[in-house]
A and B are shown apart, each in its own frame.
Chain A
Amino acid sequence: MEKITAIISGCISKEHKFQKIVYEHYYGFALKIVFRYIYRYEKAVDVVNDGFVKLFRHFDRFIKGADEDNEKILMGYIKRIMINTAIDELRKGKMLPEIGGIPDYVWEITGKEQDADQRLLYKDLIILIKELPAHYRIIFNMYIIDGYNHFEIADLLKISVGTSKSGLSRARAILQKNIKKTEQESICSI
């Protein structure tokens, strides 16, 4: 990949060549973030594309740092935009629960990897997060995985700090319960 600073400068100048490089390089990273928030895979793909449109539209607001830090700053910038876009999408759907399961074709598991078991475990954990109610899912993702504090969560979601904290405990309780249930099922199956 070309020097990140040059790519960022190209994106600020709205040159398609550099925008394409950013899109293709960070697409997987962005999709993994959004898929934790959005239940449906196809919807997550759309949200990622919307997020990239927003990113390129407002790239002039990106503040460059030192060369060695620019990639981290860019990834943080992309992460923030993707999370906001995902939350906006969930708000449009009024945070209604979704059902139907996650189809297997969205997972990249061939079974031949050395850490296949580990990847399967991670896959199951993500499915557990996705099965949380939308409000709890957002709070859990933002606090535990994406590093937001309760004040920031409350401000973004227009809720109180107390609601954010209680949402997090409720999410943890549901996840613990589901993990135990899954373990018991796997023991029984053996």
Chain B
Amino acid sequence: MKIIHTADLHLDSPMKSNLDESKAKERKNELTSNFARLIKSANDLDAKAILIAGDLFDQKSVAKRVAKVVLNEIVKNPGIDFYYLKGNHDGNSFVNFVSEQGEMPANLFMFEDSWSKIILNPKGSGKKIALYASEVGENNNMASLAAAFSDEPDDINIVMLHGQGNVYASKDSTEVIPISSYKQRCIDYMALGHVHERKIGTLDSRGIYCYPGCPEGRGFDECGDHGFMLLDIDETNGKISTEYIDFAYRKLWHVRTDVTGIADAEEMIGKIREEIAKMNINQRDMLKIELVGNVDEETDIDESYAESVFKDEFYFVKAVNKTGVQIDYSKYENDESLKGWFIRLVKDSDESEEDKGKIVRMGIEALTGGVIR
């Protein structure tokens, strides 16, 4: 049986940061359509169940149109079972919406704030695949859940939780999933959610734990590949083989470019291209070019130029100048010009080295009639 493990879709997320109104709207729609794409992937991969380990939605109050899309997709795909565990971002809004539409779809399963056990392959002839999941609510916390957990050793046991995990937690915490507490509990796979970056670790000799990360990055703090986990479970021997499936429609990339020593803007563009070439970047991706390194006071680093060069090559480009100004003060030791005096004064000031560089660059730009930036 194949199962998809995903989490943190954050549907209905505003997607406003960095993007203008039109692109923000477009991204938001793309994020919503990710749910349909996910189901298409499930069909393509012949997955029979999708585990959503929390934060399906970004807001506790979900827009009706988004809830409608999600419900329609669930209803349209009766061959796939959806196991939706609410996360800290999820509220009752979706459930309310579903209630208003009638009965809960037969292929949508949700959970309470106590352990629920569902057999994912009730008609299977081999080992049972048991899914255990619980929300964290008023009646429990992560520590009490860990204490209350029990399963059948002969089953293929999957535990689904939403929260920050801590492998090395030595003492109980109400908010953190004490992953170490689930060791030696006959768990084959811990399907976790909350952490937006993919993370897989060994639980014990039998099982693993996994955060699949969010299936689509939303900001430049969620750069690179994003996708979901595909579990292929052999019901005869109970083995689970996992595969990471790259899924994100648009990826965000942090293109950190060291421009130390460049002489001009073209060299800067060249350096950026070199960095882009090292990454597997698609035209529809979003880039944040961060110019770093140290340049001398007379080298003009114009990040807006980089933006203008790359903006037509990618969906979104943002460039930031984080270069430092490295001044060879010795050059100005004997400069009896205003500039020389100015630089020496700055050098001897109490300003921070970073500020000194910026002040010198600004002063030089001012004195040389350049554009002061």
Do A and B actually bind? no
Chain B residues with CB under 8 Å of chain A are none
Chain A residues at the B interface, C-beta cutoff of 8 Å: none
